[in-house]
Structure 1
Amino acid sequence: MSQKFPFLSIDAAARRVSLDARDPAFYSDPNPVYAELHAHAPTFYWEQQKQWYFTGYDQVNALLRDRRFGRQILHVASREELGMPAPLPHLKHFDAAEAWSLLEIEPPEHTRLRTLVNRAFVSRQIDRLRPEITELTDRLIDGFEKDGKVELLSALADIVPVTMIARMIGIPDDMGPQLLKWSHAYVRMYMFGRTDADEHAADKAAAEFADYVRSIIAERRAEPRDDLLTHMIHTEHKGQLLTDDELISTTIVLLNAGHEATVHQIGNAVRVILESEIPAETMFADEKTTEQTVEECLRICAPVHIFQRYALDDIDFDGLSFKRGDKVALILAAANLDPKKFSDPLAFRPNRDEGPNLSFGAGIHFCIGAPLARLELNIVLPILFKRLAGMRLAGTPTVKDVYHFHGLERLDLEW
Structure 2
Amino acid sequence: MNAMPSCLRIDPATRHVSLDGRDAAFYGDPNRVYAALHQHCPTFYWEEQRQWFFTGYDHVNALLRDRRFGRQILHIASREELGLPEPQPHLANFDLAERHSLLEIEPPEHTRLRTLVNRAFVSRHVERLRPEIAGLAETLIDGFERDGRTELLSSFADIIPVTMIARMIGIPDEMGPQLLKWSHAYVGMYMFKRTPEDELAADQAAREFADYVKSLIAERRKAPREDLLSHMIHTEHKGQHLSDDELVSTTIVLLNAGHEATVHQIGNSVRVILESGLPVPEMFRDEAATERTVEETMRICAPVHIFQRWALEDIEVDGIALRRGDKVSLILAAANLDPTKFSEPLVFRPDRQEAPNLSFGAGIHFCIGAPLARLELNTVLPILFRRLPGLRIAKTPTVKDVYHFHGLERLELAW
TM-score range (shorter-chain normalised) is over 0.9
Q: Cα offset for 1:161? A: 0.1
**For 1:219, what is the secondary structure of its paired residue?**
helix
Q: Cα offset for 1:220? A: 0.3
Q: Return the alpha-carbon distance in structure 1 between the equivalents of residues 244 and 132 of structure 2.
A: 30
The letter for the 2-side match of 1:402 is V
User: Structure 1: any 5+ residue segments left out of the alignment?
Assistant: none
Matches within 5 A, 1:271-310: 271-310=271-310
**For 2:76, what is the secondary structure of its paired residue?**
coil
User: Structure 2: any 5+ residue segments left out of the alignment?
Assistant: none
**For 1:349, what is the secondary structure of its paired residue?**
coil
Q: Cα offset for 1:13? A: 1.1
Check conservation: 2:8, 2:17, Cα contact below 8 A: yes
> May I ask how many residue pairs the two structures share in their alignment?
414
Q: Return the alpha-carbon distance in structure 2 between the equivalents of residues 302 and 198 of structure 1.
A: 24
Provide the residue aligned with 1:216 in structure 2.
216
Q: Cα offset for 1:4? A: 3.4
Provide the residue aligned with 1:269 in structure 2.
269
The letter for the 1-side match of 2:320 is L
Check conservation: 2:94, 2:202, Cα contact below 8 A: yes
The letter for the 2-side match of 1:180 is L
Check conservation: 2:311, 2:322, Cα contact below 8 A: yes
Q: Return the alpha-carbon distance in structure 1 between the equivalents of residues 315 and 133 of structure 2.
A: 45
**For 2:321, what is the secondary structure of its paired residue?**
strand
Q: Aligned pair 1:60/2:60, yes or no? A: yes
Check conservation: 2:93, 2:206, Cα contact below 8 A: yes
The letter for the 1-side match of 2:31 is N
Check conservation: 2:264, 2:407, Cα contact below 8 A: yes
Matches within 5 A, 1:213-362: 213-362=213-362
Deviations 1:348-382 (A, max 9, x none): 00000002000000000000000000000000100
Q: Cα offset for 1:314? A: 1.1
Provide the residue aligned with 1:367 in structure 2.
367
Greater shift, 316-325 or 146-155, is seen at 316-325
Q: Return the alpha-carbon distance in structure 1 between the equivalents of residues 4 and 413 of structure 2.
A: 31
Provide the residue aligned with 2:69 in structure 1.
69
Deviations 1:329-354 (A, max 9, x none): 00000000000000100000000000
Provide the residue aligned with 2:16 in structure 1.
16
Q: Cα offset for 1:3? A: 5.7
Deviations 1:264-284 (A, max 9, x none): 000000000000011110000
Q: Cα offset for 1:60? A: 0.2
Q: Aligned pair 1:117/2:101, yes or no? A: no
Check conservation: 2:5, 2:32, Cα contact below 8 A: no
Matches within 5 A, 1:124-139: 124-139=124-139
Q: Return the alpha-carbon distance in structure 2 between the equivalents of residues 385 and 242 of structure 1.
A: 43
Q: Return the alpha-carbon distance in structure 1 between the equivalents of residues 182 and 109 of structure 2.
A: 26
Q: Return the alpha-carbon distance in structure 1 between the equivalents of residues 376 and 112 of structure 2.
A: 27
**For 2:106, what is the secondary structure of its paired residue?**
coil
TM-score (norm. length: structure 2): 0.99
Q: Return the alpha-carbon distance in structure 1 between the equivalents of residues 32 and 155 of structure 2.
A: 31
The letter for the 1-side match of 2:5 is F
Q: Return the alpha-carbon distance in structure 2 between the equivalents of residues 319 and 29 of structure 1.
A: 29
Q: Return the alpha-carbon distance in structure 2 between the equivalents of residues 176 and 27 of structure 1.
A: 28
Q: Return the alpha-carbon distance in structure 1 between the equivalents of residues 8 and 136 of structure 2.
A: 44
Q: Return the alpha-carbon distance in structure 1 between the equivalents of residues 84 and 149 of structure 2.
A: 51
**For 1:352, what is the secondary structure of its paired residue?**
coil
Q: Cα offset for 1:194? A: 0.3
Provide the residue aligned with 2:88 in structure 1.
88
Matches within 5 A, 1:5-44: 5-44=5-44
**For 1:48, what is the secondary structure of its paired residue?**
coil
How much identity, in percent, do the aligned residues show? Answer: 77
Q: Cα offset for 1:317? A: 1.2
Q: Cα offset for 1:193? A: 2.2
**For 1:144, what is the secondary structure of its paired residue?**
helix
The letter for the 1-side match of 2:395 is G
Q: Return the alpha-carbon distance in structure 2 between the equivalents of residues 4 and 116 of structure 1.
A: 48
Over the residues paired in the alignment, what is the CA RMSD in angstroms?
A: 0.7
Greater shift, 84-93 or 309-318, is seen at 309-318
**Deviant stretches of 4+, over 4 Å:** none
